[in-house]
Amino acid sequence: MEVHALVGPSGSGKSHRARVLAYDHGIPLILDDGLLIKEGKILAGKSAKRENSKLAAIKRAIFHDESHCREVKRAIKDSGAEKILILGTSMEMVEKIVDKLELAGIDNTIMIDEIASPAEIERAITVRKNEGKHVIPVPKIEVKKQFLGYFTDSLRVLFNREQDDLTRESSIVRARFSYLGNLIVHNKVFRDIVLYFSDDYNGIAYLQNVGIIKEEDGLYLNISMVIHYGYEIPHYLENYRQQLAVELENFTGITVQQINLEIAGMEVSDDDIGNYISSRRG
């Protein structure tokens, strides 16, 4: 396999430029901070940006964990790719990664100052230092499942090429060891959001029960409700489910994997009963 290395200080903009650099050199695989990426999809690995300390992040990035290493090695082999771009803060780091993954050696090295100006590098480092923002070279929808509870945003950049205007979407996250510290969302917060949202949602009389389950891949909810008479239940529940999921993800940044809804009862007014009887007689 042909190995390319992109080397530069932490926060200097390597991840921001990785996808376009890989495109220019016809490289299908990118290895960035423990993640193996192909064409904007995460094939394997866990991001070092999820770790609680810089030391743990470094160990993750250089595949100190054997199970992590085996997973990525297997995915590289299964991909059938002939080229890979490895990002590192130093040549020593890239060499350690190459050794751990049992790759043949480094064929080509690109320093960050070869593809970015001093002003661009300085600006990237300042953003990392002051705002704790990290770029991951995959779209937001792909990275969210690895970053539950993190603030994420999209980064779209247009690069002009002679034959092509190349647009690539990457993601911005704030890592656990950034100045923000850990972000923990307790179940009571989710429950309060559900109750507040449901109070203003037409047709719901009240909620009987709200069950919250947090798993590694996201949030699962079991909600039992009493609704007012007069709604087409399947359509009504689907609209509620979709809107509630958006509300929860916007407030917490955590992916909602599933919302199970149960109609426990129906409130019927005197007018509703009268209208029902009249329709039956008609």
Ranking 32-41, 183-192, 234-243 by mean pLDDT, the lowest is: 183-192
Ranking 48-57, 75-84, 144-153, 245-254 by mean pLDDT, the lowest is: 144-153
Ranking 9-18, 45-54, 73-82, 106-115 by mean pLDDT, the lowest is: 45-54
On whether residue 179 sits in a domain, the answer given is no
Higher per-residue pLDDT: 138 or 9: 9
CA 113 to CA 194: how far, in whole Å? 49
CA 67 to CA 64: how far, in whole Å? 9
What are the pLDDT digits (tens) for 109-144? 999 999 888 888 888 787 666 656 665 565 554 555
What is the pLDDT confidence band of residue 146, given thresholds at 50, 70 and 90?
low
pLDDT for residue 175 is more than 60: no
Q: How many CB atoms lie within 10 A of CB 47?
A: 22
Residues 143 and 220 in one domain: no
Rounded CA Rg of the chain: 25
Q: What is the average per-residue pLDDT within 274-279?
A: 56
Residues 39 and 150 in one domain: yes
Tell me, what's the pLDDT at 273?
A: 60
| Helix, strand or coil, per DSSP, at residue 150 | coil
- The pTM assigned to this predicted structure is 0.55
The strand pair at 2-7 and 83-88 is best described as parallel
On whether residue 253 sits in a domain, the answer given is yes
Residues 59 and 168 in one domain: yes
For residue 12, give its domain range. 2-174
On whether residue 228 sits in a domain, the answer given is yes
| Helix, strand or coil, per DSSP, at residue 78 | helix
Residues 44 and 157 in one domain: yes
CATH number of the domain bearing residue 60: 3.40.50
Which of 103, 179, 133 minimizes the C-alpha distance to 15? 133
Q: Are 51 and 60 in contact (CB under 8 A)?
A: yes
Alpha helices in 25-154 (DSSP H): 54-61, 66-79, 91-100, 112-115, 118-131, 140-143
Residues 246 and 144 in one domain: no
Residues 36 and 100 in one domain: yes
Tokens of 247: 């509300």
What is the pLDDT confidence band of residue 157, given thresholds at 50, 70 and 90?
very low
Residues 147 and 260 in one domain: no
